[in-house]
Structure formats: C-alpha cells, structure tokens
Chain A
C-alpha cells in the first residue's frame, strides 16, 4: 500500500554555541559541583490568542514537580529569579553568519518569543526563541534543500532523573545558546536527510562558534507518510536518522493495519469504553507490580477495548506500546493488556475472572492499569483519545528517539498557541550594514575548506574531508594550536579518541581535552605518550593534570629501552628480531616509548 512512497522529511538541527549563555553572562562550561536545589510546579497559561496550547495542557495535567540542581554556571536568570539580560552578541553573530551561509534573508527586527514548555525543562515554563532569518537553501548532491528558518534560542535544562511524579534537572545546560535550522519537508529519503544534515552542519561548524561536546548537536526529524507530521526529537547522531525513519515507517504501517483490522471488528467505537475499579480482584495476587501499587494506596482499573483483541501485542501489532508510552509519561509503570496475560505474576485463574467480569470476547482487548485515584480520570481520557486518534490514522505528535533508533511518544504536537512574545527582551534591530559586514565572515564552501585544511595541516585530502564533514575542523584547529603536530591531532580525534571512548564507555569533556593538549604541547610529548595519557584519563576517570604526573606515563629513556632489550634477547625462547622487537618491548612495559628510538637501540645492540 506504499506508505513509503508518500514520505516527506524535514529536519530541525540544533547547534550549541560555545561562548557563554544567551541571556546572562554565565559560562557554557561548568564543574559538576552542585550549589543547591529548588522546586517548582508549572501552570499552563493561555496564549496571546486566548487559548491554551494542547501540548502545554497535556504537560500540565501530568502536574509534575520539577526539582532543579543549581550548577556553578547558573545565576538568578536560570532560576527564573531575574529578567533576562541582553542577548549574547557572539551567539547572535554566529546565528547571523550561519543564516548568511545558508542563503537566508536575515530579518531586520529580531523578536524573541516565549515557547511554552511546562514539562519543567525550563524554569520559566517557556523557552526563549527568535527567528533570525528565513527563506534560504543549502546545496546537496540531489538538489537544493530549502531552509525555512534559522532561529536563536536557549537550550533547556538537562534531565537527570525522572519518576514518581518528579523530574530532576540540572541547570548547567539551561540557557546555552542554540542555533536551530529548520528545513522545508523537501528531503527525498533517509540518506538525503543525512547528507542535508551534514551540509547544514558544515556551515554552522565552520562559522567557528559551535560547541564540541557530546550533545552539542541535536537533530529533530520531521517525517510524514501521509498521516500527519511526526516530530521526532533528540536524534543524537546523524547515523541514527535512517534507523529512526525506518522505525517510524514500520510503526505507521503497523498502525495502519491495526486500524483496518479493528474496523473489521466493528471497531473501538462500538460502545463507550467503561472503566471499572477491580482492585478487590487482585488483593491476593502474585503480581509484584499490582501488589506494591495496592499497598501504596493506588487502585487497579480495567477497561474493555472493543475490537482490539490481538492488536495490543502480537506479531507486528503494537497498540500496547503506544499506550504504555503514554501512561509512562504520567509516571505510571503498571499497565498490562490481554495480549500479554496471563503473565507478570497474574495467573490464568485471575485472568479468567477478569475476562468474565469485563465481558471480553475474542475480538476484544482488556487493559489493566494500576495508578493513584487522583490520576485515573485524566489518564483514561488520554488513553481513549489517543487510541481513537491513532485508529483514525491521525498520527501527528511529538516523539523522542531512543539511542537504538526506536522512538516513543513524548507529547501532542504543539500548536501556535504555545508561543507568545518575550516582553522582557526588546526587539533587536539588525541594520543592513551589519548584515553586509557579516558577509565577510561567511565560511567557504565545503570543498574549498577541505583543500585548505589539507594544505595548511599537511593532511591527506581524505582525512581533511573526514575532519570537515564530521564537524571536527574547529577542534583540529584548536588542538593543533596547542600541540603543533596536526597529523597526530587528526589521527587522535578521528581514530584514537573514539576508540578509547568506546572501549571505556565514557567521554573526555572538551575542556579536559584542551588541557591535555596544552600539557602535551608544553612537554612536547610524542604520540605514544599522548595516547597513553588519554587511555589513563578514560580508564581511571582522571584529570589531565593528575595523569601527567603518573609514573606510567613517563617515556622510556634510552637506557631503560636498552635494559629491557638486553633482558629480552637473553631470555627469549623464540628469536627476537627486527620485526617483533617493538611488540615485545610493548609487552614488557606499560610505559610509552618512541618506536624509532627503540629500533635504533635494537640495532646498536644487535651489532654488538
């Protein structure tokens, strides 16, 4: 039936700008020290048009308590205890340059808006955002992709923990400037999406202001297969884009089949769904989840979903997950449906009694939910309206991408009601002259940059191309200025570091990397010492200064090399020769040494 043929893809790419926060003068980087905590509850309010946004309303009904951890790089502005200061000039400049590089029309009046977000990720209850430029394009191998807007906005607080009706956020990320670039839905397919993201990313990175940490670049994928736009947030890596899209395609195909199948059964709407309190049926249950809920004072509710039998979870049908995603957003974990019962400690006997009470036929499904009484009404209204919406194939919503490329429901798609003017920030005037001057700073096209990098740093054009297309140009430039061996830097950032980070499952923060290369430059380390230092930092979770003093890091001197080799030559059962000597020395010592020097020592020894 070809959902795929109707694919429409658009991207929203966010780049953090590194030069301090957008509306206060706090730095972007911080230590992990916690200063204190405070708590807030958000209330959704109406927009300038007088109505409440459905996404905001949905978030408010969850009525979560938000707890904030004040970091050292936060001040009263992040606590929502002081109005915003002036817009950070460098962030604005970066956004203007990116806009010009993407062939956009820069607006002469920058008008900040408040985008209402009441999930607690902003202490103010809104995100400040302004469109900087509109109506541009970026060239790709498959034609121009139109850019609808370039915006400048503040990043949200970083979620640390979530559960039990409480979300805990760190304020370290709140207020970091983000440049958001949105394309029109003119991207042809998944690979084209990756190419487009790279092409856009190149220009922003090349402007030289963007931050180089793990989550510094985040993309949202907008995809539609003819059943409404789905916005998938938080796609962390470009390589995940195809997986996310293909996951969404199969999800939509499955929903399409469920929808058809359910309507053959005369459908979900055959009668108004009823909710029953069945707590008493489970007082003696063996199900740990139900029992702990009952003990906590929660109730067990059941409802019969007509025409949904076998569609909750069997084969490719997954309506159960759609509902589980929803209730999890309310902090509810106890949801079971008939396709997975008996199970989870619920016996056949309990199931039989429940089916009979709920008058379940083979065509029907039964949903079992444990939750507080106070939440039950809102929860079932949301469940039934989500089911109805999905069965009608109105799939518009906001989803979130997990690390494995799967996605889950986040909230309804926000509308224009969630935006209203940020009255604390005056309109910024951008003169035509300013725009004209900025044009000088627009980066060169990608090919020219690659050849420039290749020439200036003596790298192969292939390496230069990888550096540029993986947004590591600024990093190469910075680290090479500290440690004057660009080839080693290139190899380190493209190969050694990613391998080590993968091996130890943790990352080296940018400021620590900068410090490491500063030390490397001062001490004129050889490559092996540098690599060993990075290894020690990752394996031990150490700071560069701590690592620099480690005994293990000191390079083997000529005498030490000679001693090791003498021992090797004397003791080896098999012959030590020119080909295996380096490997054997490595095996003997954990300390780094210069291979060329070792070879020289070996030759002098073997002459004797």
Chain B
C-alpha cells in the first residue's frame, strides 16, 4: 500500500475521491490536506481522510523540486562596448517568487528575468542577501555599502534590488555613508512579484538600469511613476517615502520634484543633483543607538522615558510644527541634561518644524530639543546613526542640522505638495 509520505512533489498519481478516480500531479501533503494538480491545471486541496492514493504513475526526479527552471539567472548579460551596470540583489518582492509549498510569496535568487529587457547595457549581478526588507538592520547596511563600493569600482553604476517596505531607510543610509561616488546608486523594488504577468519588476528594473548609466552622483529610488507601464520616476533617496501600501507608484518625493524620469528608452534628469565624482569614499560606521517616538495624545511619561532611556539619540515625530504634550517636557529636559540628543521632526511629513510659533515649541527649545526643519523622520533616524557613528559628539548637532545629501529642502515650493498627478 503506497502512502502519501512516499510521494514526492511533481509525481504523476492516480487517486480516488468522491467515488471517482482521477489522475493528477502531487503537489503537497500536510496533516489533513492533500494538494493535487489536475490535468487542467487546477489545484485541489482535499481532506486527507476523503482521498485515496491508488498508485504512483510516474515518480518525479528525486529531491522533489522536479522540473528545472526554464530561465536561470545569468551571471552576466554581455553587451560589448556598452555601459556596465552592476546589480546587487538583497531580496524583496522584486526578486520574489511564489513558494508553491507554503503558498506564500518569498524571496528568490532568480533575477534572470531582466535579461530580455535590457539590450543596450551590460549588466552583471550578484546576490548579496535574500531577505524581506522588514528584516533589514544597520549591520546589513554596512555590508551593503561595502558591496556597493566594490561594484562601483568595477562598473559605471550600481542598482540594488530591495524590498519596498524599508527601501527609503536603506537608500538613505547608503546615501549618508557615501561622501563621494563614481556612479549612480539606484535602489529599485516592485509592488507586484515577478511571477505575475503584470509585475512592475520588469519595467522598474529596466528604468533603474538606465538611470544607473547617467552622471547622477547620488543615491536614488526608481519605481513606477503612475499606474501605467509607461514611465519610471527616480526619487532622491533622502527625500523619498513609501506612501501607499500596494500601488505601483507608492514612492513619492516628499516636498520636492522627482530627480529623474525614464520612459521609452531614455532618461531625463532634473537638476540640481550632485554629479558623479572620481572616487568611492564611504564612512561605514553606524551607531544603532537611536530610537524613534511617534507622539500621540495620551502617550505616557513612563512609555516615553522607556523609549528614551539608554539611547544616544531620539527622533520624535511631533504633531504639526513639532509639538508634544506638556507632560513630557520635564522628561525631555532631564534626558538632554544627561546627554541624550532629542530631535524633532513632524508627523505631517510635508513642511518644516518650527518651535518658535507656539509656547510649547519655545518650551521644547528650552528643554534642549534639536529641531530638524523639514527632514523626514526616517531619514533623521538613519542620519543620526551615521553621525553618531562617524563624528565626535560635540559635532552632532551641527552635523544633524547641516544639509549633507539634500535631506533638507532649503526653499520649499508650492507645487510639490501631495505628489500625485
């Protein structure tokens, strides 16, 4: 008597169910459900106690993973005499596939799908990690920065496949770490996994590769510009933010215009931007002793102090112009006296904090808080890690207030609020 445990994924089997015999392909079996694929392609998830395995018609090759992928990752797409872009894959949806056993989307190392799309650029790829981006850490940013520097030393530009959830954090961290760079660094993700015919991965990667052949000497994020497979926007990493959970055009430049667009095979960059330099210089230390507090009505002193204690710096996302409840001000005073840096950003995301307008703001200044103008909260977080890691403590406030990579908008203009078309 054959048993389900004897059957490997991909085997052709005959089984009986509801009084009829069927042929199909065995997919998966767990404690109470057997999944089989019928000849018409449908998967049936049948109760184990209702299905009988009649026989194994043809056993799939051992190791269960059955059929080889039709398109395997190519190490290099050769286009002699063309610009050379290196691709570093870290995981995320753009490099994700369906895991047919669990049914969930998970990272894959197969990035061969871009090979058909880009004929005018030579692309070499390397998988340096394989994670969903919520699992990113400052240590991984440090590793990533080293890998990007090495890539730039042997190519004209570098693109990084990254999950979209924390892409702005990662790209900002890399942006601060590179004080000079020989080629563009373009982060790219996708909102629909590449196993789907409608995936935005193909177009996003195509756009990012072309962005990486320009003289853009900064770190950018390339994603869909709108709902159409028509144009790609590049956002300055330190002004970018994921503003939608699921749309292709989830990324927006906050408070400024995008820095570049790609459509119909050509890139348009919108100055001002830093031009590519002559060497790749990184300061690769990050001090993760920074926390971020989203202020809300009823936030207790106890919880606040818990988030502040033992941190070297704390980013507060205050309300409006940069406020928190009066009840927290004694705790802030105490913390700054003890040397903790407390910095103010706004939940509004758009616009600057200004602590001179209301009495609460003036009290916060007296309490020792450092206002960060229109710097985005997440950018302030990674910038604080960078500044703490690479500069002396007495330089901290000055460095945080200095506009290092375009993270502060000096003149905010009216027409870039909202971002949507």
Min C-beta distance of B102 to chain A, whole Å? 9
* The residue from B42, B67, B230 contacting A419, defined by CB atoms under 8 A apart: B42
Asked if A83 contacts B71 (CB within 8 A), the reply is: no
Which partner residue on chain A sits nearest B104 by CB separation? A423
Which partner residue on chain B sits nearest A182 by CB separation? B40
* The residue from A38, A79, A116, A421 contacting B197, defined by CB atoms under 8 A apart: A116
Query: A131 contacts the other chain (Cβ, under 8 Å)?
Result: yes
Query: A81 contacts the other chain (Cβ, under 8 Å)?
Result: yes
Min C-beta distance of A463 to chain B, whole Å? 40
Complex Cα–Cα for A135 and B21 (A): 10
Asked if A43 contacts B192 (CB within 8 A), the reply is: no
Which partner residue on chain A sits nearest B68 by CB separation? A50
Asked if A81 contacts B246 (CB within 8 A), the reply is: yes
Complex Cα–Cα for A126 and B197 (A): 7
Asked if B103 contacts A52 (CB within 8 A), the reply is: no
Given that A50-B70, A81-B247, A416-B39 are known contacts, is A107 also in contact with B98, CB under 8 Å in the complex? Answer: no
Complex Cα–Cα for A417 and B50 (A): 27
Asked if A45 contacts B197 (CB within 8 A), the reply is: yes
Query: B307 contacts the other chain (Cβ, under 8 Å)?
Result: no
Query: B229 contacts the other chain (Cβ, under 8 Å)?
Result: yes
Min C-beta distance of B278 to chain A, whole Å? 39
Min C-beta distance of B252 to chain A, whole Å? 15
Counting chain B CB atoms within 10 Å of each CB, which of A45, A130, A427 scores highest?
A: A45
Query: A49 contacts the other chain (Cβ, under 8 Å)?
Result: yes
* The residue from A44, A81, A419 contacting B41, defined by CB atoms under 8 A apart: A419
Asked if A421 contacts B103 (CB within 8 A), the reply is: yes
Within residues 383 to 433 of chain A, which ones have a CB less than 8 A from any CB in chain B?
414-421, 423, 427
Complex Cα–Cα for A126 and B41 (A): 13
Query: B33 contacts the other chain (Cβ, under 8 Å)?
Result: yes
Asked if B103 contacts A423 (CB within 8 A), the reply is: yes
Question: Which chain A residues border B44 with CB–CB below 8 Å?
Answer: 107, 109, 111, 131, 134
Question: Which chain B residues border A527 with CB–CB below 8 Å?
Answer: none
Asked if A80 contacts B198 (CB within 8 A), the reply is: yes
Which partner residue on chain A sits nearest B203 by CB separation? A41
Min C-beta distance of B217 to chain A, whole Å? 32
Asked if B198 contacts A42 (CB within 8 A), the reply is: yes
Question: Which chain A residues border B100 with CB–CB below 8 Å?
Answer: 48, 420-421
* The residue from A44, A82, A416, A418 contacting B246, defined by CB atoms under 8 A apart: A82
* The residue from B66, B98, B228, B245 contacting A38, defined by CB atoms under 8 A apart: B228
Complex Cα–Cα for A413 and B248 (A): 32
Complex Cα–Cα for A52 and B105 (A): 19
Given that A38-B226, A131-B42, A416-B39 are known contacts, is A44 also in contact with B98, CB under 8 Å in the complex? Answer: no
Which partner residue on chain A sits nearest B71 by CB separation? A46
Asked if A416 contacts B38 (CB within 8 A), the reply is: yes
Q: Binary interface profile of A, 113-157, with partner B (CB < 8 Å = 1, else 0)?
A: 111101000011110011100110000000000000101000000
Complex Cα–Cα for A108 and B229 (A): 40
Which partner residue on chain B sits nearest A42 by CB separation? B197
Query: A95 contacts the other chain (Cβ, under 8 Å)?
Result: no
**Total A-B residue contacts, Cβ distance less than 8 Å:** 136
Asked if B246 contacts A124 (CB within 8 A), the reply is: no
Query: A25 contacts the other chain (Cβ, under 8 Å)?
Result: no
Within residues 356 to 405 of chain A, which ones have a CB less than 8 A from any CB in chain B?
none
Query: A444 contacts the other chain (Cβ, under 8 Å)?
Result: no
Asked if A45 contacts B42 (CB within 8 A), the reply is: no
Asked if B103 contacts A49 (CB within 8 A), the reply is: no
Query: B47 contacts the other chain (Cβ, under 8 Å)?
Result: yes
Asked if A51 contacts B103 (CB within 8 A), the reply is: no
Asked if A105 contacts B197 (CB within 8 A), the reply is: no
Complex Cα–Cα for A420 and B103 (A): 10
Given that A107-B44, A415-B41 are known contacts, is A124 also in contact with B10, CB under 8 Å in the complex? Answer: no
Question: Which chain B residues border A83 with CB–CB below 8 Å?
Answer: 246
Min C-beta distance of B128 to chain A, whole Å? 24
Within residues 37 to 87 of chain A, which ones have a CB less than 8 A from any CB in chain B?
38-46, 48-52, 56, 60, 76, 79-83
Question: Which chain A residues border B17 with CB–CB below 8 Å?
Answer: 105, 134-135
Query: B63 contacts the other chain (Cβ, under 8 Å)?
Result: no
Query: B125 contacts the other chain (Cβ, under 8 Å)?
Result: no
Question: Which chain A residues border B45 with CB–CB below 8 Å?
Answer: 107, 109, 111, 427
Min C-beta distance of A422 to chain B, whole Å? 9
Query: B202 contacts the other chain (Cβ, under 8 Å)?
Result: yes
Min C-beta distance of A10 to chain B, whole Å? 12
Interface size range on A against B: 35 or more
Query: B287 contacts the other chain (Cβ, under 8 Å)?
Result: no
Question: Which chain B residues border A114 with CB–CB below 8 Å?
Answer: 196
Complex Cα–Cα for A354 and B37 (A): 53
Asked if B196 contacts A135 (CB within 8 A), the reply is: no
Given that A109-B47, A124-B196, A135-B20 are known contacts, is A418 also in contact with B66, CB under 8 Å in the complex? Answer: no
Asked if B198 contacts A115 (CB within 8 A), the reply is: no
Complex Cα–Cα for A229 and B246 (A): 41
Question: Which chain A residues border B192 with CB–CB below 8 Å?
Answer: 80, 124
Asked if B198 contacts A124 (CB within 8 A), the reply is: yes
Complex Cα–Cα for A40 and B25 (A): 33
Counting chain A CB atoms within 10 Å of each CB, which of B194, B195, B203, B247 scores highest?
A: B195
Question: Which chain B residues border A129 with CB–CB below 8 Å?
Answer: 42
Min C-beta distance of A6 to chain B, whole Å? 22
Complex Cα–Cα for A124 and B199 (A): 8
Which partner residue on chain A sits nearest B191 by CB separation? A81
Complex Cα–Cα for A83 and B35 (A): 23
Within residues 194 to 216 of chain B, which ones have a CB less than 8 A from any CB in chain A?
194-199, 202-203
Query: B19 contacts the other chain (Cβ, under 8 Å)?
Result: yes
Complex Cα–Cα for A41 and B228 (A): 9
Within residues 1 to 59 of chain B, which ones have a CB less than 8 A from any CB in chain A?
10, 17-20, 25, 27, 33, 35, 37-47, 50
Query: B227 contacts the other chain (Cβ, under 8 Å)?
Result: yes
Within residues 127 to 166 of chain B, which ones have a CB less than 8 A from any CB in chain A?
none
Asked if B42 contacts A48 (CB within 8 A), the reply is: no
Complex Cα–Cα for A551 and B245 (A): 55
Query: B395 contacts the other chain (Cβ, under 8 Å)?
Result: no
Min C-beta distance of B12 to chain A, whole Å? 12
Query: B69 contacts the other chain (Cβ, under 8 Å)?
Result: yes
Complex Cα–Cα for A76 and B244 (A): 12
Given that A131-B42, A419-B42, A419-B43 are known contacts, is A81 also in contact with B197, CB under 8 Å in the complex? Answer: no
Which partner residue on chain A sits nearest B199 by CB separation? A43
Which partner residue on chain A sits nearest B110 by CB separation? A46
Min C-beta distance of A359 to chain B, whole Å? 37
Given that A40-B229, A81-B247 are known contacts, is A420 also in contact with B66, CB under 8 Å in the complex? Answer: no
Question: Which chain A residues border B229 with CB–CB below 8 Å?
Answer: 39-41
Asked if B196 contacts A45 (CB within 8 A), the reply is: yes
Which partner residue on chain A sits nearest B100 by CB separation? A48
* The residue from B33, B103, B245 contacting A109, defined by CB atoms under 8 A apart: B33
Asked if B230 contacts A39 (CB within 8 A), the reply is: yes
* The residue from B18, B67, B199, B202 contacting A134, defined by CB atoms under 8 A apart: B18
Complex Cα–Cα for A126 and B230 (A): 21
* The residue from A39, A79, A82, A113 contacting B43, defined by CB atoms under 8 A apart: A113
Min C-beta distance of B413 to chain A, whole Å? 26
Question: Which chain A residues border B41 with CB–CB below 8 Å?
Answer: 113, 115, 414-419
Question: Which chain A residues border B47 with CB–CB below 8 Å?
Answer: 108-109
Asked if B66 contacts A421 (CB within 8 A), the reply is: no
Min C-beta distance of B121 to chain A, whole Å? 19
Complex Cα–Cα for A51 and B68 (A): 8
* The residue from A50, A105, A135, A414 contacting B67, defined by CB atoms under 8 A apart: A50
Complex Cα–Cα for A116 and B40 (A): 13
Given that A79-B227, A81-B246 are known contacts, is A416 also in contact with B40, CB under 8 Å in the complex? Answer: yes
Asked if A39 contacts B196 (CB within 8 A), the reply is: no
Question: Which chain A residues border B19 with CB–CB below 8 Å?
Answer: 135
* A–B pairs, 11, beta carbons within 8 Å: A41-B229, A45-B199, A46-B69, A50-B69, A51-B67, A108-B46, A108-B50, A109-B44, A111-B44, A419-B42, A423-B98
Q: Which 3 A-B pairs have the closest CB atoms?
A: A125-B197, A419-B41, A416-B41
Known: A38-B227, A125-B196. 14 other contacts (CB 8 A): A42-B198, A45-B194, A45-B197, A45-B199, A80-B198, A81-B247, A82-B246, A105-B17, A111-B42, A124-B198, A135-B17, A135-B20, A420-B100, A427-B45
